[in-house]
């Protein structure tokens, strides 16, 4: 029964990884860049929620109301000031600048909030669980997280398929130059994609802060998990991100069931194994970054 419990909790944990990975997948899908600062941006969301809880005495859920619009604007500004310039300079530069951002954010957070751990109160739902049996309890908070991830991914899918913004995003992802020719402002589309991505990062960050205590260096580790979810699920597919997150979550918790210290390691091993299998199946023609038509 403990194994069943590990798998069920792994699926729920996967929901959280999918939530964190959504913005990463969106930015990669549209701009072909991997934002190495994504986890750190999520962490800023968690720290902002902490400030609202401390000083305005509101719940972290309510704190999302001011945080999400701020994150949208911040994402738009980030694209317009930094990422746009990096994108023009080729494939390597966005990696280098977002990595620099990761280092800067982690250390600024450490300066302003000390290296100590912080946490957010998840409210009454935190302690509540559905006791399926004596060995299996399903925490409602984890179900809520998974539900929000599904809702977010489904919502994005609908936006991509049925709205003007979605059509522009898909067209720009396919070929920015041609999209420009038919009247799409690629720069504005990129900025909107980043705005959405940063807002989802902040949302995931607040949930992360409620799940577990966090410190200024947590962003990098969580980014790694989120990225593993994106890659396992198959880059470019939004629903794949959810499956990837679930595979990773189950791998980690089943590994932890064998030995608690194997949590992160078993996730990494499954990630690398998935890569090797995929390379073997595709006969070595794996290119995660397809060439753009020019």
Site residues, other proteins (CB under 8 A): 28, 32-34, 36, 82, 85-86, 89, 91-97, 99-104, 106-108, 110-111, 217, 220, 224, 227-228, 231, 235, 261, 264-265, 268-269, 271-272, 275-276, 279, 284, 286-289, 291
Least distance (Å) between residue 109 CB and other proteins: 9
Calculate the CA dihedral of residues 112, 22, 199, 150 and round it to 10 degrees.
Answer: -120
Count other C-beta atoms under 10 Å from residue 283's C-beta. Answer: 7
**Alpha-carbon gap, residue 19 to 150, rounded angstroms:** 8
Residue count (the chain): 294
Q: Which residue has the tokens 């995929």?
A: 278
Tokens encoding 61: 């859920």
* Ranges of H-type helices in 114-235: 140-162, 164-174, 176-181, 186-211, 218-233
**Backbone torsion region of residue 66, taken as left when φ is above 0, otherwise alpha when ψ lies between -120 and 50, otherwise beta:** alpha
Of 97 and 145, the one with the shorter C-beta distance to other proteins is 97
DSSP label of 291: P
- For other proteins, the closer CB: 81 or 164: 81
Q: How far is the CB of 266 from other proteins (least distance, A)?
A: 10
Helix (H, G, I), strand (E, B) or coil at 6: helix
Residue 3 has, within 13 A of its CA and on its CB side, a CA count of 1
- Whichever of 170 and 268 has its CB closer to other proteins, that residue is 268
Q: Give whichever of 50 and 225 is closer to other proteins, judged by the CB atom.
A: 225
Conformational region of residue 131, where left means phi above 0, alpha means psi within -120 to 50, and beta covers everything else: beta
Q: Compute the least distance from the CB of residue 232 to other proteins, in Å.
A: 11
Max Cα-Cα span within the chain: 62
Minimum CB–partner distance for residue 284 and other proteins (Å): 7
Q: How far is the CB of 60 from other proteins (least distance, A)?
A: 26
Q: How far apart, in whole angstroms, are the C-alpha atoms of residue 129 and residue 108?
A: 37
Tokens of 275: 């890569």
Least distance in angstroms from the C-beta of 142 to other proteins: 25
220 within 8 A of 235, measured Cβ to Cβ = no
CB of 90 to other proteins, least distance (A): 8
Residue carrying structure tokens 């390691």: 265
CB of 34 to other proteins, least distance (A): 3
């Amino acid at each position: 029964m403990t194994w069943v419990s590990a798998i069920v909790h792994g699926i729920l944990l996967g929901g959280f990884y999918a939530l964190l990975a959504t913005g990463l997948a969106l930015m990669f899908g549209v701009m072909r860049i991997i934002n190495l600062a994504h986890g750190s941006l999520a962490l800023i969301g968690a720290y902002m929620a902490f400030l609202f809880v401390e000083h305005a005495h509101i719940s972290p859920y309510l704190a999302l109301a001011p945080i999400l619009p701020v994150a949208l604007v911040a994402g738009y500004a980030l694209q317009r000031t930094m990422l746009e310039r990096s994108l023009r300079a080729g494939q390597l530069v966005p990696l280098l600048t977002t990595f620099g951002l990761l280092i800067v954010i982690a250390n600024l957070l450490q300066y302003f909030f000390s290296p100590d751990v912080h946490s957010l109160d998840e409210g009454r739902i935190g302690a509540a669980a559905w006791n399926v049996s004596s060995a299996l309890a399903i925490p409602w908070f984890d179900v809520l997280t998974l539900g929000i991830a599904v809702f977010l991914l489904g919502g994005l899918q609908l936006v991509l398929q049925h709205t003007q913004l979605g059509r522009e995003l898909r067209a720009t992802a396919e070929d920015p130059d041609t999209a420009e020719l038919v009247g799409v402002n690629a720069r504005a589309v990129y900025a909107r994609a980043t705005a959405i991505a940063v807002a989802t990062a902040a949302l995931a960050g607040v949930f992360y802060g409620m799940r577990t205590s966090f410190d200024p260096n947590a962003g990098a580790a969580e980014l790694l998990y989120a990225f593993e979810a994106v890659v396992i699920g198959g880059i470019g597919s939004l629903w794949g991100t959810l499956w990837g997150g679930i595979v990773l979550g189950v791998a980690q918790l089943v590994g932890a069931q064998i030995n608690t210290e194997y949590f992160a390691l078993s996730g990494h091993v499954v990630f690398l194994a998935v890569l090797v299998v995929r390379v073997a199946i595709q006969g070595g023609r794996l290119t995660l970054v397809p060439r753009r038509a020019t």
